[in-house]
Amino acid sequence: MLSDILPNPGITAGHFREKGTAALEQDFLKKAKENLRIAQMSFEHQCHNACANRAYYACFQAAIAALVSRRAGRGKFDHKWVQAEFSRKLIKRQKIYPARLRSYLLEMQIIRNRADYEKISEDIQFPIDIVAFWIAQ
């Protein structure tokens, strides 16, 4: 079902109690890895717009998994919240991830938005190695 693989901005703290933190983390990590595979295939076939979309979601879902694993995911998982909390809690406060990741989610979202909503572009070059780095973390 399509709704099973798309991020759900309506997930709240109640889902942690229902499903369990470890299971929720694994769900988002699985989604992230799946999106990374699709991004890689899109990149290999020079489908750069699709690659930008799936690569962003791979990193977005990996960030959610990281927040959940540190019990920092107590709000809705909308894009702005995840970007802010990942940077604030896991980079600035706890220093779990390198500072260079601070702006990556926003930059990747900008590229994704350009790929999704602007004229089809052949010049979108998405650094797939950065996405793989996110997932590996």
* DSSP string computed for 90-115: IIIIS--S-GGGTTHHHHHHHHHHHH
- Architecture per CATH, 20-136: Up-down Bundle (1.20)
Give the CA dihedral 108, 113, 116, 122, nearest 10 degrees. Answer: -60
* Greater model confidence, 62 or 13: 62
* Greater model confidence, 15 or 112: 112
Query: Is 134 a residue whose pLDDT tops 80?
Result: no
% the chain with pLDDT above 90? 36
Q: Which pLDDT score, from 0 to 100, does residue 133 have?
A: 61
Mean pLDDT score, 44-49: 87
Mean pLDDT score, 42-54: 88
Query: Is 109 a residue whose pLDDT tops 60?
Result: yes
Per the confidence metrics, is the pTM higher than 0.85?
no
What is the C-alpha to C-alpha distance for residues 38 and 49, in angstroms, rounded to an integer? 12
Reported as a single tens digit per residue, the pLDDT across 2-16 is 333 334 444 444 444
In the predicted model, what is the mean pLDDT of the chain? 78
Reported as a single tens digit per residue, the pLDDT across 21-41 is 888 889 999 999 999 999 889
Distances (CA, A) of 8 to 18, 46, 66, 119: 15, 28, 16, 27
Distances (CA, A) of 55 to 14, 42, 88, 105, 111: 28, 10, 22, 10, 10
